[in-house]
Amino acid sequence: MILTLEGETVVAVDAVIGYLHRCHEKLGETLTYVQYPSIASKTDYVAAMTAELAYVSTVEKIAKIEVPRRAQYLRVIVAELQRIASHCLWLGTWCLDMGGALGGGATVFLYCIREREMVLDRFEELTGARLLYGFHQTGGTRYDMPSGWDRRCARRSTSSRSGSTSTRRCWRTTRSSASARRASA
C-alpha cells in the first residue's frame, strides 16, 4: 500500500489487493520452497499443521518428491489431530454463541477446550510448540515421534471416545433438551 500524505493527513491511497494478512505472498517471493512452510503455517493459526501440510504436499507433487512411508503416517496422524482440535474450537465457540439454547453454552465450550488442550499437549510433545509447529518440511517431517507419543495419542483417543461421566451427562442432557424442544414445537 502506498500512501500520499500531506502532513498527517492521508490524501491518496494506492492499495494492492490480494496480499493475505501479513503479505504472505510477498514474503514467499523472497524465500525458497524449503524456507516457506514456517510462513504457510501462519495463514491459519487455528489449523497451522494442515496449512503447512497443504503447502509441502503441493511442492512435493510439483517436484515429484517421494515422501517416506513413516513421514506419511505421521502427517496423517497430526492432520487428524489438528482436525479434531479445530473442530473442538469451532464447536466450543459456536456453543458460546448459541448460549442458553443448548442448555449452557459455556459448559460445552469448557469441555471442548479441555479436549483441544489435550491435542495441543500432544503437539507440544512432538514439536515443542502449541500454536505454530514447523513440523512439516518438503520431503518428510522435521521431527519423529518421541518415545511413547503414539501410545499417549491412542490412550487419549480412547478416553475422548468414551468420555468422562460429566461429559456424557452433559451431552445426554443437551440431546434430551433439544428433543424436548423439537417435540413441543
Let me know if residue 36 belongs to a domain.
yes
**Residue 158 in grid coordinates:** 480412547
Quick one: three-class SS letters along 75-121?
Answer: HHHHHHHHHHHHHHHHHHHHHHHHHHHHCCHHHHHHHHHHHHHHHHH
> Is 146 inside any structural domain?
yes
User: Does some domain include residue 171?
Assistant: yes
Asked whether residue 144 is assigned to any structural domain, the reply reads yes
Specify the number of domains making up the chain. Answer: 1
CATH number (domain holding residue 173)? 1.10.645.10
Predicted confidence at residue 158, as pLDDT, reads: 59
Report mean pLDDT in 10-residue bins for the chain, 185 residues.
89 75 75 85 88 94 96 94 93 83 76 92 94 93 92 73 54 51 55
Query: Which structural domain range is residue 129 located in?
Result: 2-178
pTM, whole model, 2 decimals?
0.73
